[in-house]
């Protein structure tokens, strides 16, 4: 279905370690900011879609997460739909809100992403990721990705860190990438994150400094794997008619929001990522060369590297040279993760998808200060989560335009 929706306002908390902040605060504050940004009142909202992944495990809040969070700021009565879809929870919430606005059911819908991952007991935090695979195949998954060295996986680190290590070693063997290439991505994103007041880590790191950090899973050092984070993000989505009524001077339109799930396929056939990307570009009426910037799911430095050609930002054999030439950096040919990405902005799982939309919206409206991409008109968000048979379980691609 083609999308016909406008981002009227956005908001987010700083991402980071917020042991003193509640799930209600993390979800409620960005809503108030987004409502103010949109120039509306809470009472104008007709429906809310709330993306969250791990509150049940980390905080014990189940079943009515959105209702609990939104009632704390005085928003209730309206339909509140809770959505859990791995790392793509709030991107999926965005998809559903845009569909309902496009279909004419609502003129004003709220999208919220929120997560509280930090816990005094790190094992609780990491347990939040343990169910994002087929649990009946989990032991097999761990055995395959850890190469017999699974100690600490799921207790001292996310079990997905082991998976990223496998991807890195395979990429090095197949394409000739080096540990320095992975460090270049982390260093690039640290520069972008240093310019983002909402980023969890704002210190810029050189390639050498990234390489000097402790190895978490061979060959990846700590800055090459995204950290835990607490945080919230929100967006007000309106119809074009309502956008005109509100007098939005530079509307950002969601022109494509595509969601697909894992499916069995031949090894060299289309997969969930490729069909999402193809469908999103087609629906938006764009080609890769039209894209001005990208927020992609850099759960690790190697996953960012792998995703460049997936999004058709470059050919497979051009990837390493474009990275070396700075083409994916601010000021380069196509800046990627100007927010700092998951690696530096942080990854509060349920909040990540809408946080990507926050960055793209502000970029397209020229509100990003020192990290502004000049003349940005078209942005793409790539957000996937969970794993089935070594592939992403849920993939979301969003295209926005001014």
Active site residues: 87
Angle between helices 301-310 and 272-284 (to 10 degrees): 50
Residue 70 CA to residue 25 CA, distance in Å, equals 10
DSSP 55-92: HHHHT---S-HHHHHHHTTT--SS-EEEE-BTBTHHHH
Antiparallel, parallel or unpaired: β 47-51 and 80-83 = parallel
Both structure tokens of 131: 């169910």
Both structure tokens of 284: 């938006």
Task: Give how far Cα 334 sits from Cα of 207, 346, 375, Å.
Answer: 20, 22, 12
How many other CB atoms sit within 10 Å of the CB of residue 111?
A: 31
Contact criterion met (CB below 8 Å) for 84 and 51: yes
Calculate the dihedral angle through the C-alpha atoms of 245, 248, 251, 253, rounding to the nearest 10 degrees: -30
Contact criterion met (CB below 8 Å) for 232 and 114: yes
Q: Which of 103, 157, 167 is nearest to 130 (CA)?
A: 157
DSSP 294-357: EEE--SBHHHHHHHHHHTTSS-GGGHHHHHHTTTTSTTSSS-B-TT-HHHHH---GGGHHHHHH
Contact criterion met (CB below 8 Å) for 385 and 88: yes
């Amino acid at each position: 279905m083609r999308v016909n929706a406008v981002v009227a306002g956005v908001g987010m908390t700083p991402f980071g370690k917020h042991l003193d902040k509640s799930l209600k605060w993390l979800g409620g504050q960005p809503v108030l900011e987004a409502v103010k940004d949109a120039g509306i009142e809470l009472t104008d909202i007709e429906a809310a879609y709330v993306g969250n992944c791990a509150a049940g495990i980390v905080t014990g809040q189940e079943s009515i997460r959105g209702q609990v969070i939104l009632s704390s700021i005085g928003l209730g009565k309206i339909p509140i739909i809770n959505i859990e879809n791995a790392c793509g929870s709030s991107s999926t919430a965005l998809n559903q809100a845009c569909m309902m606005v496009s279909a004419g059911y609502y003129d004003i819908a709220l999208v919220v992403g929120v997560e509280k991952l930090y816990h005094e007991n790190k094992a609780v935090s990491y347990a939040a990721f343990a169910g994002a695979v087929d649990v009946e195949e989990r032991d097999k998954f761990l055995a395959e990705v850890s190469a017999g060295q699974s100690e600490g996986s799921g207790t001292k680190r996310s079990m997905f860190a082991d998976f990223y290590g496998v991807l890195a070693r395979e990429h090095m063997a197949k394409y000739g990438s080096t540990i320095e290439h992975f460090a270049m991505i982390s260093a690039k994103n640290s520069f972008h994150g240093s310019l983002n007041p909402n980023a969890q880590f704002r210190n810029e790191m050189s390639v050498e400094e990234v390489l000097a950090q402790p190895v978490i899973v061979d060959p990846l050092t700590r800055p090459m794997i995204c950290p835990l984070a607490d945080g919230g993000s929100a967006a007000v989505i309106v119809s074009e008619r309502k956008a005109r009524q509100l007098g939005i001077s530079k509307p950002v339109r969601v022109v494509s929001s595509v969601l697909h799930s894992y499916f069995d396929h031949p090894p060299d056939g289309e997969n969930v990522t490729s069909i999402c990307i193809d469908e999103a570009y087609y629906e938006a009426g764009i080609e890769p060369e039209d894209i001005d910037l990208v927020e992609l799911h850099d759960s690790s430095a190697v996953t960012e590297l792998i995703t460049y050609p997936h999004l058709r930002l470059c050919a497979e054999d051009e990837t390493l040279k474009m990275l070396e030439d700075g083409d994916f950096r601010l000021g380069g040919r196509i800046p990627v993760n100007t927010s700092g990405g998951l690696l530096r902005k942080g990854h509060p799982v349920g909040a990540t998808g809408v946080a990507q939309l926050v960055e793209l919206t502000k970029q397209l409206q020229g509100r990003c200060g020192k990290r502004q991409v000049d003349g940005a008109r078209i942005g793409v968000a790539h957000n996937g989560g969970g794993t089935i048979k070594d592939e992403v379980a849920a993939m979301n691609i969003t295209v926005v335009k001014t």
